[in-house]
Structure 1
Amino acid sequence: MPEEANIQRPEGHILTELCQRVAAHYQRRGTMDRDFVTALPWLSFVRIPEPTVLNRGMLQPSMCIVLQGRKKMLIGDNVTEYGPGSYSLAAVDMPVSGQVTQASESAPYYGVRIDLDSKEIADLIVSLQITLPEKQHEASNAGAWVTQSDEALQEAFLRLVKLLDTPDDLPVLSKLIKQEILYRLVTAPAGSAFWKQTLAWTQGKGIGEALAWIKRHFAEPLKIDELAKRVGMSSSSLHHRFKALTVMSPLQYQKQIRLLEARRLLLSGSLDVANVAWLVGYESPSQFNREYRRSFGAAPLQDVETLRQMGVTL
Structure 2
Amino acid sequence: MPEQETTARPEGRILTELCQRVAAHYQQSGSTEQELLTALPWLRFIRVREPTVFNRGMLEPSMCMLLQGRKKMLIGDNVTEYGPGNYSMAAVDMPVSGQVTQACEEEPYYGVRIDLNSKEIADLIVSLQISLPEKNNETANAGAWVTHSDEGLQDAFLRLVKLLDSPADLPVLSKLIKQEILYRLVTAPTGATFWKQTLSWTQGKGVGEALAWIKRHFAEPLKIDELAKRVGMSTSSLHHRFKELTVMSPLQYQKQIRLLEARRMLLSGSEDVASIAWQVGYESPSQFNREYRRSFGAAPLQDVQTLRQLGTTL
Q: State which drifts further: 135-144 or 270-279.
A: 135-144
Q: State which drifts further: 10-19 or 71-80.
A: 10-19
Question: Contact 2:6–2:12 at 8 Å: present in 1 too?
Answer: no
Equivalent position of 2:3 in the other structure:
5
The one-letter amino acid paired with 1:151 is E
- Counterparts of 1:292 and 1:112, CA distance in 2: 31
Question: Contact 2:35–2:45 at 8 Å: present in 1 too?
Answer: yes
Equivalent position of 2:213 in the other structure:
213
- Counterparts of 1:201 and 1:257, CA distance in 2: 21
What's the CA shift string for 1:194-246, capped at 9, x where partnerless? 22222223422011111111000000000111111111111111111110000
Question: Contact 2:63–2:113 at 8 Å: present in 1 too?
Answer: yes
- Counterparts of 2:92 and 2:7, CA distance in 1: 30
Counting only pairs closer than 5 Å after superposition, residues 239-254 of structure 1 correspond to structure 2 as: 239-254=239-254
The answer for unaligned runs of 5 or more in structure 1 is: none
Count of aligned residue pairs for this structure pair: 312
2:90 is equivalent to residue 90 of structure 1:
yes
- Counterparts of 2:214 and 2:259, CA distance in 1: 14
What's the CA shift string for 1:143-197, capped at 9, x where partnerless? 0101100000000000000000111111000000000000000010111222222
2:165 is equivalent to residue 155 of structure 1:
no
Q: State which drifts further: 137-146 or 108-117.
A: 137-146
2:186 is equivalent to residue 186 of structure 1:
yes
| 3-state DSSP of counterpart to 2:292 | helix
Question: Contact 1:74–1:96 at 8 Å: present in 2 too?
Answer: yes
Identity percentage of aligned residues:
82
| 3-state DSSP of counterpart to 1:96 | strand
Equivalent position of 1:270 in the other structure:
270
Q: State which drifts further: 97-106 or 14-23.
A: 97-106
| 3-state DSSP of counterpart to 2:63 | strand
The one-letter amino acid paired with 1:239 is H
Equivalent position of 1:236 in the other structure:
236
The answer for unaligned runs of 5 or more in structure 2 is: none
Question: Contact 1:8–1:102 at 8 Å: present in 2 too?
Answer: no
2:17 is equivalent to residue 17 of structure 1:
yes
Equivalent position of 1:176 in the other structure:
176
What's the CA shift string for 1:31-59, capped at 9, x where partnerless? 22100000100000000011111100000
- Counterparts of 1:7 and 1:134, CA distance in 2: 27
- Counterparts of 1:260 and 1:157, CA distance in 2: 31
| 3-state DSSP of counterpart to 1:12 | helix
Q: State which drifts further: 3-12 or 25-34.
A: 3-12
TM-score (norm 2): 0.96
RMSD: 1.5
- Counterparts of 1:9 and 1:204, CA distance in 2: 45
Equivalent position of 1:282 in the other structure:
282
Question: Contact 1:9–1:84 at 8 Å: present in 2 too?
Answer: no
Equivalent position of 1:196 in the other structure:
196
What's the CA shift string for 1:118-162, capped at 9, x where partnerless? 101100000100112346242240001011000000000000000
- Counterparts of 2:183 and 2:5, CA distance in 1: 27
- Counterparts of 2:241 and 2:140, CA distance in 1: 14
Question: Contact 2:91–2:193 at 8 Å: present in 1 too?
Answer: no
| 3-state DSSP of counterpart to 1:178 | helix
2:312 is equivalent to residue 300 of structure 1:
no
TM-score (norm 1): 0.96
- Counterparts of 1:67 and 1:182, CA distance in 2: 19
